[in-house]
Amino acid sequence: MISYMLIVLLIIGFLTSLILIPLWIRKVKSIGLVWEDMNKINGEPVAGSGGVIVLLAFLVSSLTYVAYRVFILDSKDGFLVQIFALMIMITFMGFIGFVDDLFGWRKGGLSIGSRVMLSIFGAIPLIAINAGKSVIGFPFLGTVDIGLFYPLFFIPLGIVATTTTFNMFAGFNGLEAGQGAILLSALGFVSYLTGNSWLTVICMSMVLALIGFLFYNWYPAKVFPGDVMTYAVGLLIAAVAIVGNFEKIAVFFYIPYILEVCLKLRGNLKKQSFGRPLLDGTIENRYNKIYSLNHVAIAIMKKLNIRATERKAVLMLWGFQIIIILIGLFIFRDSLF
């Protein structure tokens, strides 16, 4: 049943994204919602907020799965409530991301404080259904049931952390969408291993939507995702980990983002992740110091005398994320296999 549904989701989510993105590109270009590609010299303006279509494709796929469970299987599964909670959250954060895109287009975007507060509101559906388990293992203390402290503190913390940091690891064509697809594929695999096959379907709904989007977001990008996508994907990563009760391995998978935040803090959150484009099509670092994993990738290529390009940097960063995931699966293998 799961393999059959994955095929259906592949067709629906992937094609929805693949077909509608060109229409979105033409529409937003006609109204001037375009952004500069900072890694190109005199590059064409790129259509913005393509994540709107990714979000739409995800919702269509997820609702198709719900309809299949309800009308074909005549199922009254309890997890359907959790699916709707996830869809409400993702739609809300996607809307906030779109507002941020529009404000950023004209006036610099939402403040950090506004993003944090709105992310807390985005966590309310999971708090309302008391998602996850309040029993947590602590070093030296063993397992402790923290009761209401879990939904009232840890759920908002997880949601705020991922929605406000996922878009920090960005700046190259295809990077964010590819990272989202890799992470959610891994979390979907973990979901399947831990007996949450319905969560696997939800993860793959977003993965296939992202892959369809990547056809237009890959170098040279014709459309950028915008915060509408990064907020939604960041929230989904945290929500899947919370609902599936595998927060520890999800945090381990998220190590590249933790490193990115640390590097960004080194520059007081003011340094850009972009490279400096050169006339020969290569890129170099903008600063003498490292303020992003993007800069690390460029520095490594320069050190190894490899022609540093945006495409190679993205592939290197994706490879790093995959290595972290494989290490995580090995470390947590006893609880998964």
**Closest of 43, 45, 44, 56 to residue 17, by C-alpha:** 56
Helix or strand holding residue 142 (H, E): strand 142-145
Residue 3: its pLDDT value, please?
63
Residue 105: its pLDDT value, please?
58
User: Residue 306 is encoded by which pair of tokens?
Assistant: 């490899």
**What value does the mean pLDDT of the chain take?**
91
pTM score: 0.94
Q: How confident is the model at residue 2 (pLDDT cuts 50, 70, 90)?
A: low
Residue with tokens 């999971």: 126
Q: How confident is the model at residue 132 (pLDDT cuts 50, 70, 90)?
A: confident
Q: For residue 71, give the DSSP letter.
A: I
**pLDDT tens digits for 296-313?**
999 999 999 999 999 999
**pLDDT tens digits for 134-163?**
777 666 666 777 788 888 889 999 999 999
Does the pLDDT value for residue 107 go beyond 80? no
Mean pLDDT across 208-214: 97
Mean pLDDT across 189-216: 96
User: Residue 32 is encoded by which pair of tokens?
Assistant: 């001037």
Q: How confident is the model at residue 116 (pLDDT cuts 50, 70, 90)?
A: confident
Mean pLDDT across 232-260: 96
